[in-house]
Amino acid sequence: MLDDLRALQEEALGAVQAAADDAALDAVQSSFLGKSGKLPLILRAIGKLDPKERGPVGRAGNEAKQAIEAGLATRRAALIAAADADLADSEWVDATLPAPEGVQTGGRGGSIHPITALVRDLEDVFLSMGFETLDGPWVEDDHHNFGALNIPKDHPARDMQDTYWLTDGNLLRTHTSPVQIRAMADHKPPIRAVCLGRIFRNEELDTTHENTFHQCEGFFVDRDVSVGHMVYVLKTLLSEILGGEAEVRLRPSYFPFVEPGFEMDVMFRGDWMELLGCGMVHPYVLEAGGIDPNEFSGFAFGMGIDRLVMVRHGIEDIRHLMSGDLRFLSQFTGGLEG
């Protein structure tokens, strides 16, 4: 029987090598390993063997099964790699070639999206003030998005941000503030960091609310940092971006991760529009980040980038920004020619 097993293994591995696609591999798998396949058929006879022989034959049977399974996996991977390589050859496109004669392209080139343009300008301003740029994941865990920001489970502040929960218990980040927590994990004060990126909220949409939008998080921790420093940084960045023309106001507000907390509004089309939340980093948050709140203090802010784009370009509806509508986008030239 040991010889039978060896012969079967060889036959199976030969069939695996000869299989030219996934369907052929499935057929080999079922003919050798399937319920009524050749290997189970042989192994079913083990019971009739002399008890002394059963052990070695059983082991050889398992080894044959493992060898065939490994052969199948290797062949499947090789077939996928070969298919990918074929695809790379057959689907290769030279994007620099001119359009074939007679094809109308409208002379339209690409351009920088107004959000991207603002992100780049903001990064320049922050760089000039000595801030470094950090990144964070879009898929966050409860701890970074809420818990470490002093928003424990069942805290009513969780309702302030309608969350897209994932089935594995993680979530799409509802703000860029988790990057504060990530910054403290691998930075010691003084910390001057910004994170500009996409965030997600399960919101009702209107002219100033999107469900996929962008925030600019600023985080500054050092000795003797005060509200005055925060106001200076915010004023500087807004006057750099909007040319000192914007009318803004700061009013008290509440966020669990700052104390005291504020919101800044900007005058837009004759009305106040909320632009950012900010405040002095809560001692609990510093402590959770391993920073002694008796020695250090800090400020943080989270600004709506899309709303700042609206003010910058006089866009009346935030929903245009992520619409991908070329009639809208082509107004922001620096690229598009119609």
Q: Interface with ligand FA5 by CB under 6 A: which residues?
A: 161, 175, 177, 201, 203, 209-210, 213, 215, 255, 258, 261, 274-279, 300-302, 304, 306-307, 318
Please give the Cα distance from 300 to 311 (Å, whole number): 22
Residue ranges with strand state E in 68-211: 132-133, 139-140, 171-172, 191-200
Nearer to ligand FA5, 59 or 249 (CB): 249
Nearer to ligand FA5, 26 or 240 (CB): 240
Which of these, 106, 319, 129, lies nearest to 235 by C-alpha position? 129
Which of these, 4, 68, 65, lies nearest to 40 by C-alpha position? 65
Beta bridge partners of 184: none
Please give the Cα distance from 287 to 282 (Å, whole number): 9
Nearer to ligand FA5, 8 or 199 (CB): 199
Nearer to ligand FA5, 140 or 210 (CB): 210
Q: What does the longest C-alpha to C-alpha distance in the chain come to?
A: 95
Which of these, 273, 334, 332, lies nearest to 308 by C-alpha position? 273
Please give the Cα distance from 337 to 109 (Å, whole number): 7
Q: How far is the CB of 336 from ligand FA5 (least distance, A)?
A: 25
Q: How far is the CB of 201 from ligand FA5 (least distance, A)?
A: 5
Q: How far is the CB of 71 from ligand FA5 (least distance, A)?
A: 54
Q: How far is the CB of 268 from ligand FA5 (least distance, A)?
A: 11
Q: How far is the CB of 327 from ligand FA5 (least distance, A)?
A: 22
Nearer to ligand FA5, 4 or 259 (CB): 259
- What six digits make up the tokens of 30? 């079922």
Cβ-closest residue to ligand FA5? 304
